[in-house]
Structure 1
Amino acid sequence: MIKKILASFAVAVSTTSLFALPPALLVLKNKSALTRENELIVVTRSTLASKVKNLQPGDYLTFSANGKTIPAQFDDVDGDGKWDEAVLIVSFAAKESIKLQLQASKNLPDYQQPVFAHVRQKHKNADQRFGPLVLKDTMPFNNPPTDFSKVALPPYLTEGPAWENDKVAFRLYFDARNCKDIYGKRIGGMVMDTVGANPKNSYHNFSNWGMDILRVGKSLGAGALAIRTKTSSNADTLIRVGGSMVKSETFHVVSDGPLRAMFDMTYSCVINNKPFTITERTSIWKGQYFYQSDVTISGLSATDELVTGMADFYENNAESIRINSQNIYYSYGAQSENKDKLALAVSVANSSHTSMTNANSLQSEIKDTWLVSQPVNNGKLSFRFYALWEKTNTAFSSKEGVRDFFNKEVEMMGSPIEIR
């Protein structure tokens, strides 16, 4: 009898692999009491390799929770030809922990969902159509704005790079203005490959997909960059990162969806005969009403300031919210080009910001802007720029809805998802 039991046990071991390693787990925890939708989860390759012992250089991973596969994106953020980060979008209940099972795969997992984030740059061809996506581009020195009295279409679709998710879209003028603009969206699909391609369908007109909702003028628009520094005579000055001070300007796509899109803008500049370099990495991902800007600066003094801001036109009131380590400066009112409600905001960490001011009180070519400044310090700075249009979400039709939204945003930024 004993021999039979042992034999049965041996068979069980060989067929059920009792001594196999348990599945690798990645635990995500929402430490806040808030429900959190579409949280960006970024896990480095090194972290995943420490959990999945058999992860080979050419491998990918599948992620699953409760038997359901979680879509993932794999980004090569340093350009060495292999992925460095796995990107997931996960929603959480209050205080919820989610255990993800990890499995190495030789093939890139098949993504069976819509595209939720996109970045693009396109050039106009001789036939007056716009060509394929451009992954790297260099702006001609001091490139002038398009003169639409002479041409119907600009040299670049929507005058420069555009980036979007399922909530909102932005563009950067690839010319001496170097300003940022906003396209309000009424649909979740990606639209910026076609918006602006036909001059008969002006994006300044309200349409089924949305419209250009921001007046820019001489402002910093939707988060363009400027530098506050001292002149040789020690006078305080505010200078846009644009025009002839920019000796070279390059655009480079880092990743293009389907969950997160990223691109770099690198500027080689001179102020007061002092050369410096700015690299701005812009990210946008599924389900959010902002883009994130991570800026690296070299060649400036630690006491100089990086300045960004939001256009100040029409009817709006400016306020701020501070909770723990985070701060949001925002304006709200009937300030869209559709003359309806729009909130604009810049969020920064409390430890690195100065108070919001208005550009019209300064001696600068930058006008009509609520300015938010951060000291350069060690040259690593970040901010988020928000655009909340009531035609995208009716919750933004009231100042109470907007303030509730920003209160939640600040609280969530102060309590990031724990990854272990």
Structure 2
Amino acid sequence: MSSLFTKTAVLIFVLGGSLQAFSQTRSISVSNKSSLVLKDKAIAVTRAGLPGAEEGKFPLILTASGDTIPSQLDDINGDRKWDELFFVLDLAPKQKLKLSLNWVNFVPEFTMRTSVRFGKRSSATLPVQPKVADTAYIDEMPKKIGYQPYQTDGPSWENDKVGFRHYFDGRNAKDLFGKRVTWMSPETVGLTAQGAVEDNYHVLKDWGRDVLPVGNSIGLGGVALLVKDSLARLGVTVNDTRNNIKSTSFHIYSEGPVRSVINFHYMDWSTQGRVYQVNETPMIWPGMHAYQNTVRVSGLKGDESLLVGLPDVSNDGPLTEVNIGDWTLLYTHDKQSYNKEFWLGLALLVPKKAYQGSITAPTTGNLSSSYLAKLKISENKPVTYYAVGGWELADPGFINPQYFRNYVTGLAHQLSAKVKVKIE
């Protein structure tokens, strides 16, 4: 198919019996600068770097042999305009791949390899309805209103390897959904047949289950602050009736076949006699047992560090630290699931340049049972890291601690590998 395209022609394509017009075709050159085999390597091209992009058009990317590369246009800052063209590629060591980029007036359909699920009920007697955004206010804690309004306690996101969820009910911890399948888990997870909120996801299903006990930790990749020498939890615990955040907003920025992007904005977080604004943007794309998170904090006085959590609720093993490429890797490996039923490897990949060591939270209190990576943070400047969960039923190799170590060190190498993208 690709041999039909030229840079000057406007061509006609038949899809589903209708005529579709291609606009001017450009080429994308992607070069793997590393000696690694790259699998599902994330490729993002900014809107400014895409000459010829047209409003109301959609990308269709083809290889030289005419195969289609699934891609999407993503809003990553919440202004309801797309900011990046995104796709993933497999690349051999030092491989240079030439693709054609065609702007078309239809939305190409691809297999969904990422997903976001979010639902809320407006009263204890009404069914949950799907939503793309919501705001939770300071006095709307479940303990105060008498019921849990959110499906799975808040939004969940997943790829073809693993899933995660965020406790949007004021706790703001992040949990792990283990997956046994590559397809996306049902939209009804966490609901009864009548649409009521139900904790039915701690039972093993064909798709998987919630496998990680979180307690009063901040979960896998959850955030907090170290203010001078004091731990400051972003939010409250399950038994609190009032939040320490004035309002928390959630938005699904993008949900697509190869990437899903969500956002949390914490307005007026009062702690340690100070008030902060916090913004975090989790993303997930296919192929990795992990998600990416980017955090910004404003209102800083200069004596704070960002803390990123690794649960220590059901772990009897040590915390291991390794430097790989651009990243510092912190990980644990144990039967750290509910009732110690399954082997789990948990890891953080944090930027080596920002890493200031780790601390251990107390065993009791409103922020407890966590290893905490301490990161340098500056006023409203982004800090990006990855949180990894390896469940034995997702990959039996994760039973072996060396296998998990090899996986996360390999992921760090993959993320450090440089790829050059050129639009012509």
TM-score per shorter chain, which class? 0.7 to 0.9
CA change 1:64–1:133 in 2 (3 A) is same
CA change 1:374–1:18 in 2 (3 A) is closer
Residues 46-65 of structure 1 aligned to structure 2 (within 5 Å): 46-49=48-51, 52=52, 55-65=53-63
Look up the equivalent residue of 2:310 and give its one-letter code.
Answer: M
Identity level (%): 29
Three-state SS of the structure 2 residue aligned to 1:367 is coil
Question: Structure 2 CA distance, aligned partners of 1:340 and 1:291?
Answer: 21
Q: Which portions of structure 1, spanning 4 or more consecutive aligned residues, are displaced by more than 6 angstroms?
A: 16-22
Residues 106-121 of structure 1 aligned to structure 2 (within 5 Å): 107-111=105-109, 113-121=110-118
Which residue of 336, 344, 347 corresponds with 1:345?
A: 347
TM-score relative to the length of structure 2: 0.85
Q: Which residue of 2 aligns with 1:104?
A: 103
Question: Structure 1 CA distance, aligned partners of 2:149 and 2:259?
Answer: 27
Q: Which residue of 1 aligns with 2:255?
A: 256
Question: Structure 2 CA distance, aligned partners of 1:26 and 1:82?
Answer: 22
User: After superposition, what is the alpha-carbon deviation per residue over 1:300-345, rounded to whole angstroms, capped at 9, x for unaligned?
Assistant: 1333111011111233332122023211101111112252210111
RMSD over aligned CA atoms reads 2.7
Residues 164 and 192 of structure 1 are in contact (CA less than 8 Å); yes or no, is this contact kept in structure 2? Answer: no
5+ long unaligned stretches in structure 2 = 11-23, 237-242
- Segment of structure 1 superposing worse, 195-204 or 311-320: 195-204
Look up the equivalent residue of 2:332 and give its one-letter code.
Answer: S
Question: Structure 1 CA distance, aligned partners of 2:78 and 2:348?
Answer: 29
Q: Which residue of 2 aligns with 1:9?
A: none
Question: Structure 2 CA distance, aligned partners of 1:193 and 1:20?
Answer: 43
Q: Is residue 190 of structure 1 aligned with residue 184 of structure 2?
A: yes
Which residue of 153, 169, 183 corresponds with 1:175?
A: 169
Look up the equivalent residue of 2:341 and give its one-letter code.
Answer: K
Question: Structure 2 CA distance, aligned partners of 1:200 and 1:366?
Answer: 26
Look up the equivalent residue of 1:305 and give its one-letter code.
Answer: S
Give the structure with the higher percent helix: 1
CA change 1:264–1:192 in 2 (3 A) is farther
CA change 1:142–1:356 in 2 (3 A) is farther
Residues 6-405 of structure 1 aligned to structure 2 (within 5 Å): 24-49=26-51, 52=52, 55-66=53-64, 67-105=66-104, 107-111=105-109, 113-124=110-121, 130-145=127-142, 154-191=148-185, 193-198=187-192, 202-230=200-228, 236-243=229-236, 244-268=243-267, 269-312=269-312, 313-337=314-338, 339-360=341-362, 365-378=366-379, 379-405=381-407
Three-state SS of the structure 1 residue aligned to 2:386 is strand
CA change 1:23–1:143 in 2 (3 A) is closer
Question: Structure 1 CA distance, aligned partners of 2:133 and 2:198?
Answer: 29
Question: Structure 1 CA distance, aligned partners of 2:186 and 2:155?
Answer: 10
Count of residues in Structure 1 that have an aligned counterpart in Structure 2: 390
Question: Structure 2 CA distance, aligned partners of 1:17 and 1:368?
Answer: 60
Three-state SS of the structure 2 residue aligned to 1:400 is helix
Greater C-alpha Rg: 1
Look up the equivalent residue of 2:69 and give its one-letter code.
Answer: I
Deviation at 1:286, TM superposition (A): 1.4
Three-state SS of the structure 1 residue aligned to 2:49 is helix
5+ long unaligned stretches in structure 1 = 1-15, 231-235
Deviation at 1:394, TM superposition (A): 1.7
Deviation at 1:147, TM superposition (A): 9.6
CA change 1:221–1:200 in 2 (3 A) is closer
